[in-house]
Structure 1
């Protein structure tokens, strides 16, 4: 019976740790916008 309890606790720790790992790696990095000057002649074509 003791071995079953230990196995369940280890499984629970692995599942919770995996969820935290996935949640941490799923955070999106903010996208950086680069604005550059465009000549008006390029927009007309």
Structure 2
């Protein structure tokens, strides 16, 4: 009986860990834009 309980707990931990992993990957990170002043001498 205890083996069954341990197996169920291990499966639950793996499933919950996988869900958190997938949820962490699915979050979109906003891109930050950095604007710099560039002199015209650098462009040529």
Q: Report the TM range for the smaller structure's normalisation.
A: 0.5 to 0.7
Deviating above 6 A after TM superposition, structure 1's stretches of 4 or more consecutive aligned residues are none
TM-score by length of 2: 0.65
Offset of residue 30 of structure 1: 1.6
CA-atom RMSD in angstroms: 1.6
Q: Which runs of 5+ in 2 are unaligned?
A: 34-44
- Matching residue of 2:36: none
Distance in structure 2 (CA, Å) of the matches to 1:29 and 1:6: 38
Count residues in correspondence: 34
Aligned to 1:3: 3
